[in-house]
Amino acid sequence: MNTLQSIDYPIYFNNISAELNRFIKQGNYSRFFVLTDEHTAKYCLPLLVENLDDKDNYDLIEINAGEESKSIDFCVGIWKMLIDFGADRNSLLINLGGGVITDLGGFAASTYKRGIDFVHVPTTLLAQVDASVGGKNGIDIFNLKNIIGTFTQPKAVFIEHRFLSTLPARQVKSGLAEMLKHGLIADAAYWRKLKQSDLENLSPELIYDSIAIKNDVVIADPKERGLRKILNFGHTIGHAIESYSLNNDENPLTHGEAVVAGMICETYLSHQKCGLSLTAMQEIIDTLLGLYGKYPLDESTFGQLNDTMRKDKKNQGGKINCSLLSNIGQCEIDNVCTDEELCDSLKYYASLEFEKA
Ligand code: GLY
């Protein structure tokens, strides 16, 4: 598999130790820091550290795993450790972990001393195919996801397939949701190939192809002025469902599970508003429901979900915007959806019949 070139940085695939060592040497960094959480420190850090050429010149910053860490308090904690360790402007932060680590680490690095270099070593499928590519960094605040952040590109991304074997199946499926999305919004052939693949054992090639799709989009529109909004398909409603679940469920939905629920609602809206055929709508919904099942959404929550959608950072001029499909593999941005239309799509989702296998 080749290295992919992103906006102004490479995405390396496998053999990451050699690439990372080469990168650190070439960068002539005064010191480097590895940001991990307790899971990646246990399961992934050994693979990284064992193979580092320059073991003496780094410090570890470990935080708690979980979305709660993607907060200003944890960011302050990282800034403080960088200060205490004497990190200068020629330091490098290596973000080793899932989307929380890459988003938070990218934000902390892009603001520390007005910005130090950082690279991502994503260890979850979700972070490999989505969070680590495209330079979105940020934190959550006031129950709003990613509401504070920067667009700052990493200096490199290192994708290691071996990390995925350390993940629970549910976490892998969370990343798979974004891979399915990539097919739906930009590449019908990929969607079909993915559907026919062994989804329990995702091949490195399928992951590479998914990253390549996202990479093409972010290269064309790094700051989400237009085309990049297609990546938001499923996310307007999905983020609202995710926030609701995080605040109310004992065992909350993963990001991918919430996005799947959002994609089903937005596929319905695509059929209503964007010319998606009934056959295509059924194909998408059957596939997603078959893979992920259904989240029990109750009508009493719709008002709250709508309020969250109103606060979505993707809105403009107080209007709720969705990216919708006109066909499988084709997505149209900036579809203004009324509260009534959004509510209808939630009702449609709640009414879907689903028998557990
Ligand atoms: N996760 C969507 C994007 O990077 O734009």
Residue 175 in contact with ligand 1 by CB distance below 6 A: no
Instruction: Name the token pair of 341.
Output: 């239309």
Beta bridge partners of residue 257, listed in sequence order? none
Q: What residue ranges do the domains of the chain occupy?
A: 3-166, 169-351
Architecture, CATH, for domain 169-351: Up-down Bundle (1.20)
Phi and psi torsions of 346, nearest 5°: -65, -40
Instruction: Label residue 179 exposed, middle or buried (CB < 10 Å: 0-12, 13-18, 19+).
Output: buried
Neighbours of 119 (CB within 10 A): 28
Angle at 278 between CA 276 and CA 280, to 5 degrees: 65
Instruction: Name the token pair of 68.
Output: 């709660």
| Secondary structure (DSSP) of 214-282 | HHHHHHH-TT-SSGGGGGGTTHHHHHHHHHHHHHH-SSPPPHHHHHHHHHHHHHHHHHHHS---HHHHH
pLDDT at 98: 96
Length of the chain: 357
Instruction: Name the token pair of 158.
Output: 């290192």
CA 97 – CA 124 distance, rounded (Å): 7
Write down the catalytic residue from 160, 224, 257, 266.
224
Ligand 1 centroid from CA 269, angstroms: 21
Residue 264 in contact with ligand 1 by CB distance below 6 A: no
The alpha carbon torsion through 53, 164, 154, 191 (nearest 10 deg) reads 140
| Relative orientation angle of helices 169-186 and 255-273, to the nearest 10 degrees | 20
Instruction: Label residue 151 exposed, middle or buried (CB < 10 Å: 0-12, 13-18, 19+).
Output: middle
pLDDT at 357: 47
Q: Are 221 and 242 in contact (CB under 8 A)?
A: no
Q: What is the mean pLDDT of each run of 10 residues along the chain (357 residues)?
A: 91 91 95 96 92 89 94 98 97 97 98 98 97 96 87 97 93 97 98 94 96 98 97 96 92 96 98 98 97 95 94 83 97 96 97 73
Furthest CA-CA distance within the chain: 60
Ligand 1 centroid from CA 293, angstroms: 24
Residue 136 in contact with ligand 1 by CB distance below 6 A: yes
pLDDT at 30: 94
The alpha helices in the chain, defined as continuous H runs, are 16-27, 38-43, 45-50, 72-84, 99-111, 125-126, 169-186, 188-195, 204-220, 235-248, 255-273, 278-292, 302-310, 339-351
Beta bridge partners of residue 10, listed in sequence order? 5
- State whether CATH 3.90.1150.10 applies to domain 3-166: no
